[in-house]
Amino acid sequence: MRHNLARYVYGYAVCFAFAVFLFSPILWTLSTSMKRPIEMFQWPPVIVGEPSGQHYAAIIADKEFSSALINSIIVSMSTVVLTMALSIPAAFGISHLQKKAMRRLLTLVLLLRAAPGMIYIIPYFLLFREIHLIDTRLGLIIINTMFATPLAIWYLSSFFDQVPREVEEAAIMDGASMVQTMVLISIPVARSGIAATGILIFIGSWNEFLFALTLTRDEAKTAAVAILNFMPFEGTDWGRAAAACVLMLAPIVIFVPFIKKYMAGPTTIGAVKG
C-alpha cells in the first residue's frame, strides 16, 4: 500500500513539475499581452492589473504582421491540401503492398527527414534562388510539403493498415477498382486518422520557422518570422511580441484537443457483419 502511494505521489509530483515548467512561459506571455506598458516591469509583479487589449489592437492594425498572418494561413492550409493529396494514395499503396523494400524505403526517407534542418538550408536556398522561389508563398508550400509528406505517409499507412481487408475485398468483388475502393471505402473508414494527420501537418507548417526565416524577405514572410519585428535592436516591444505569440498559439489551442479524439483509430463500426 505504501509502495503504491509513494509511486502515485512521485508520478503526480513529476507531472506537476513538468506542467509548471511548460505552462509558466505560456501564462507569462498571456499575462504580458494584456498588461499596460507601465505594469510590465512593476515590482512586485502583477499577473494582470487591468486587462488591456491595446497590444492586440496594435498588431492587428500593423499591416506587416497582418500580411504575415495571412501568409501563414495560406501556406499552412495549402501545405495540408498538397501533403494529403500526395500522402493518401502513397500510404494506401504501401499499406496494401506490404513489401519489405517499400517499408525500408519509407524508413530511409523518415531518417533523412529526421536530420537537422540546417543541413538543407544552403542547398535549398541556392536552388530556390535559381528558380526564383525566394520570398514566395509557393516556395514555402513546396518546402513544407517536402518535409511533411514522409511523416504523413508514415502516419496514414498505419491507419490504412487497420481498415478491414474484408470490406475492401467485398468492394473489389462487386466490381470496384482499387481507386474506387480507396475513395469509397478506405478513406471514409480511416477518416479519423486522416483528420488527425491533417491537423498535425497544419500545426507543423504553422510553427515552421527556420525555412520561413531563410527563404523569405518581405512578401512571403510568415507570422512566426514577423514576431521578430517587435524585437528590434533598439529594444523589444514586449506587449506586442507577447500578443503576437498568443495569436500564433490560438490555432494550436483550437486544434490540439481534436487530435486525441481523431487518433482513436478508424471508424469500422458496422463495416463488417459477424
pLDDT score of 24: 85
Residue reference for cell 471514409: 188
Task: Give residues with Cβ within 8 angstroms of 60, minimum separation 6.
Answer: 66
Count of C-beta atoms within a 10 Å radius of residue 192: 17
* Bigger pLDDT: 59 vs 105: 59
Q: For CA atoms 20, 22, 28, 34, give the dihedral sign.
A: negative
* Bigger pLDDT: 171 vs 77: 77
Residue 265: alpha-carbon gap to chain centroid: 19
pLDDT score of 215: 92
Whether pTM > 0.75 for this model: the answer is yes
- With bands split at pLDDT 50, 70 and 90, how would you rate the model's confidence at 274? very low
Delineate the domains of the chain, giving CATH numbers in brackets.
1-52 (no CATH), 62-262 (1.10.3720.10)
Yes or no: say if 182 and 92 are a contact pair by the CB < 8 Å rule: yes
pLDDT score of 233: 73
pLDDT score of 71: 95
- With bands split at pLDDT 50, 70 and 90, how would you rate the model's confidence at 114? confident
Q: What is the largest CA-CA distance in the chain?
A: 75
Average pLDDT (133-147) is: 93
* Bigger pLDDT: 222 vs 157: 222
Report for 42-51, 55-64, 70-79, 145-154: range of highest mean pLDDT: 70-79
pLDDT digit string, tens, across residues 211-257: 999 999 888 999 999 998 888 777 778 888 889 999 898 888 888 77
pLDDT score of 101: 65
pLDDT score of 1: 57
Average pLDDT, the chain: 83
Count of C-beta atoms within a 10 Å radius of residue 240: 21
State the SS3 of the chain: CHHHHHHHHHHHHHHHHHHHHHHHHHHHHHHHHCCCHHHCCCCCCCCCCCCCCHHHHHHHHCHHHHHHHHHHHHHHHHHHHHHHHHHHHHHHHHHHHCCHHHHHHHHHHHHHHCCCCHHHHHHHHHHHHHCCCCCCHHHHHHHHHHHHHHHHHHHHHHHHHCCCHHHHHHHHHCCCCHHHHHHHHHHHHCHHHHHHHHHHHHHHHHHCCHHHHHHCCCCCCCHHHHHHHHCCCCCCCHHHHHHHHHHHHHHHHHHHHHHHHHCCCCCCCCCCCC
pLDDT score of 49: 66
Radius of gyration of the chain measured on its C-alpha atoms? 23
Of 75-79, 106-110, 216-220, give the lowest mean pLDDT range: 106-110
- With bands split at pLDDT 50, 70 and 90, how would you rate the model's confidence at 142? very high
Cell numbers of 233, please?
Answer: 535592436
pLDDT score of 3: 64
Q: How far apart are CA 198 and CA 178, in angstroms?
A: 23
